[in-house]
């Protein structure tokens, strides 16, 4: 097993002056993946039209190659998440995948779209927009606080379902609270009530083991550029075969009504290199050992949560079973509580202490979200602890 920790930094381009504890926010692709992406770009530029219109996609509608490069890449990603290549399309990011689903469904006046109070803001906006356009209603279920546990979260969703619920959007891993949600169980309750589920898996691929079909959900939108080491930007949308016919990309192009993969594989001329280099991110992780990477990151996140909450005298709101490779820890109360306090402290940590970390205000207090990646170790967490303590 490779030795994880600071020796892994040689695989990244990260600024050695800054302690990076924020891998989850926009990802950080390893050098090897960026090199592969550059090779792909170089290859494109030798014969741009041929590459984009014949090799990469089936733009012309008449297959030139047996399988396009986009489909090859989709198959590689599919096998990483337990799915079939034909059920997966690339999208620029998780937001785009979710918008595709929301804009393909036809809500009516009075219909309800269910989300939670832990949903990512942009996704809540997209759902709110879809509701507004059709005079449907956005219903936001609240997770019981201050202690998060899977049963209470399942109940929060179940109790918010009504005869008018047409869609439930459920995070697999929530953004700020970084909670691993009981998606499969929530889906079961939704299915019992005839409510389709759109999963927001923005943080899941690479962070936790995935077997998409077994989750039971109708759609799964995810990022590869966060935890699966792909170049930015790269996401995918998975849909059950029954849902694919009604699904369209938010940008309509040549593939209209020619089938799911056809519609999404070409949404106008763009740079396909992030998608085509995504399998290299998976290969990098496989070379390191997928389980070993996940186990290291999970343990580091949990150990950091213990260290920080004990040192700061605060209490973790969730147990280890709800933690993936990120952990959100309450900060000492003396550091403030407002959004503004959060922003000021986040910037001070970056610009004065050279620590990049996600920090936010929630429930009238400040929280810090640690991302644990194989280039981090416990000494990074101690550095964060000390920097925070020096500001109390
Ligand atoms: C839960 C969740 N959903 C969606 C997104 C959106 O990701 P992107 O900006 O890559 O579309 C994020 C980003 O952090 C997220 O945490």
Task: Report how far residue 25's alpha carbon sits from residue 227's, in angstroms, rounded to the nearest whole number.
Answer: 10
Mutate to test the pocket of ligand 1, among 24, 94, 99 (most ligand atoms within 8 A of CB): 94
Say if ligand 1 is within 6 A of residue 223 CB: yes
Q: What was the pLDDT predicted at 2?
A: 73
CATH number for the region 40-283 comes to: 3.40.640.10
β-pairing, 165-171 vs 358-362, is unpaired
Which ligand 1 atom is at minimum distance from the Cα of 93?
Answer: 11
Q: Between 56 and 101, where is the model more confident?
A: 101
Stretch 2-24: mean pLDDT:
97
Measured in angstroms, how far is the CA atom of residue 337 from the centroid of ligand 1? 24
Say if ligand 1 is within 6 A of residue 123 CB: yes
Measured in angstroms, how far is the CA atom of residue 369 from the centroid of ligand 1? 15
Q: What was the pLDDT predicted at 58?
A: 77
Measured in angstroms, how far is the CA atom of residue 87 from the centroid of ligand 1? 21
Report CA 390 to chain centroid distance, whole Å: 33
Q: What is the DSSP letter of 8?
A: G
- Domain layout of the chain by residue ranges: 6-28+289-389, 40-283
Q: What was the pLDDT predicted at 59?
A: 73
For residue 287, pLDDT beyond 70: yes
| Closest-CA residue to 150 (of 189, 103, 98) | 189
Measured in angstroms, how far is the CA atom of residue 224 from the centroid of ligand 1? 11
Measured in angstroms, how far is the CA atom of residue 390 from the centroid of ligand 1? 32
| Contact in structure between 27 and 227 (CB atoms under 8 Å) | yes
pLDDT tens digits for 288-330?
Answer: 999 999 999 999 999 999 999 999 999 999 999 999 999 999 9
Phi and psi, residue 115, nearest 5°: -135, 180
Q: What was the pLDDT predicted at 62?
A: 65
Which ligand 1 atom is at minimum distance from the Cα of 174?
Answer: 1
Say if ligand 1 is within 6 A of residue 221 CB: no
In whole numbers, what is the pLDDT of the chain averaged over residues?
A: 97
Q: What was the pLDDT predicted at 105?
A: 98
pLDDT tens digits for 97-134?
Answer: 999 999 999 999 999 999 999 999 999 999 999 999 99
Say if ligand 1 is within 6 A of residue 51 CB: no
Say if ligand 1 is within 6 A of residue 68 CB: no
β-pairing, 197-201 vs 165-171, is parallel
For residue 61, pLDDT beyond 70: no
Supply the residue whose CA is at minimum distance from atom 14 of ligand 1: 25
Q: What was the pLDDT predicted at 119?
A: 98
Q: What was the pLDDT predicted at 60?
A: 65
Q: What was the pLDDT predicted at 175?
A: 98
For residue 1, pLDDT beyond 80: no
Which ligand 1 atom is at minimum distance from the Cα of 97?
Answer: 11
| Contact in structure between 203 and 175 (CB atoms under 8 Å) | yes
pLDDT tens digits for 179-222?
Answer: 999 999 999 999 999 999 999 999 999 999 999 999 999 999 99
Q: What was the pLDDT predicted at 57?
A: 85
Which ligand 1 atom is at minimum distance from the Cα of 175?
Answer: 16
| Contact in structure between 273 and 37 (CB atoms under 8 Å) | yes
| Contact in structure between 195 and 176 (CB atoms under 8 Å) | no
Is the four-CA dihedral 320, 322, 326, 331 of positive or negative sign? negative
Supply the residue whose CA is at minimum distance from atom 10 of ligand 1: 93
Measured in angstroms, how far is the CA atom of residue 270 from the centroid of ligand 1? 21
Q: What was the pLDDT predicted at 234?
A: 98
Say if ligand 1 is within 6 A of residue 100 CB: no
Stretch 139-153: mean pLDDT:
97
Say if ligand 1 is within 6 A of residue 202 CB: yes
Mutate to test the pocket of ligand 1, among 24, 26, 200, 202 (most ligand atoms within 8 A of CB): 202
Say if ligand 1 is within 6 A of residue 180 CB: no
Measured in angstroms, how far is the CA atom of residue 120 from the centroid of ligand 1? 6
Measured in angstroms, how far is the CA atom of residue 178 from the centroid of ligand 1? 12
Identify the burial level of 83 via C-beta atoms within 10 angstroms of its C-beta, where 0-12 means exposed, 13-18 middle and 19 or more buried: buried
Q: What was the pLDDT predicted at 63?
A: 67
Say if ligand 1 is within 6 A of residue 120 CB: yes
Q: What was the pLDDT predicted at 211?
A: 98
Percent of the chain's residues with pLDDT above 90 = 96
Q: What was the pLDDT predicted at 67?
A: 86
Supply the residue whose CA is at minimum distance from atom 1 of ligand 1: 175
Q: State the CATH architecture for 6-28+289-389.
A: Alpha-Beta Complex (3.90)
pTM value surpassing 0.95 = yes
Q: What was the pLDDT predicted at 146?
A: 96
Q: What was the pLDDT predicted at 66?
A: 74
Q: What was the pLDDT predicted at 131?
A: 98
- State yes or no: cis peptide before 256, omega within 30 of 0: no
pLDDT tens digits for 244-266?
Answer: 999 999 999 999 999 999 999 99
Q: What was the pLDDT predicted at 114?
A: 99
Q: How does residue 365 score in pLDDT terms, banded at 50, 70 and 90? A: very high
């Amino acid at each position: 097993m490779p030795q994880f920790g600071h020796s892994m930094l040689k695989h990244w381009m990260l600024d050695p002056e800054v302690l990076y504890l924020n891998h989850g926010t926009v990802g950080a692709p390893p050098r090897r993946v960026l090199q592969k992406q550059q090779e792909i770009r170089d290859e494109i530029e030798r014969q741009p039209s041929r590459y984009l219109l014949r090799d990469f996609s089936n733009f012309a509608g008449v297959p030139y190659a047996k399988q396009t490069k986009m489909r090859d890449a989709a198959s590689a990603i599919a096998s990483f998440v337990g799915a079939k290549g034909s059920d997966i399309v690339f999208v620029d990011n998780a937001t785009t995948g979710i918008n595709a689903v929301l804009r393909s469904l036809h809500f009516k006046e009075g219909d309800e779209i269910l989300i939670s109070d832990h949903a990512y803001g942009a996704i809540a906006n997209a759902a709110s927009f879809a509701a507004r356009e059709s005079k449907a209603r956005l219903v936001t279920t609240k997770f019981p606080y201050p202690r998060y546990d899977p049963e209470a979260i399942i109940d929060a969703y179940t109790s918010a379902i009504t005869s008018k619920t047409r869609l439930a959007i459920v995070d697999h891993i929530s953004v700020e609270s970084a909670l691993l949600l009981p998606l499969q169980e929530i889906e079961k309750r939704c299915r019992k009530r005839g409510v389709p589920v759109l999963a927001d898996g923005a943080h899941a691929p690479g962070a936790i083991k995935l077997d998409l079909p077994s989750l039971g959900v109708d759609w799964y939108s995810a990022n590869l550029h966060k935890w699966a080491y792909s170049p930015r930007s790269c996401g995918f949308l998975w849909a059950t075969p029954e849902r694919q016919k009604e699904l369209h990309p938010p940008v309509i192009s040549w593939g209209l009504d020619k089938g799911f993969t056809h519609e999404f594989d070409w949404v106008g001329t763009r740079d396909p290199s992030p998608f085509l280099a995504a399998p290299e991110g998976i290969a990098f992780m496989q070379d390191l050992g997928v389980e070993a990477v996940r186990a290291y990151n999970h343990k580091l996140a949990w150990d950091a949560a213990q260290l920080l909450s004990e040192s700061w005298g605060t209490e973790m709101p969730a147990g280890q079973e709800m933690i993936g490779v990120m952990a959100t820890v309450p900060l000492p109360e003396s550091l403030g509580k407002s959004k503004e306090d959060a922003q000021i402290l986040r910037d001070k940590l970056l610009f004065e202490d050279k620590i990049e970390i996600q920090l936010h205000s929630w429930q009238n207090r400040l929280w810090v979200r640690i991302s644990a990646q194989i280039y981090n170790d416990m000494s990074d967490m101690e550095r964060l602890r000390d920097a925070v303590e020096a500001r109390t």
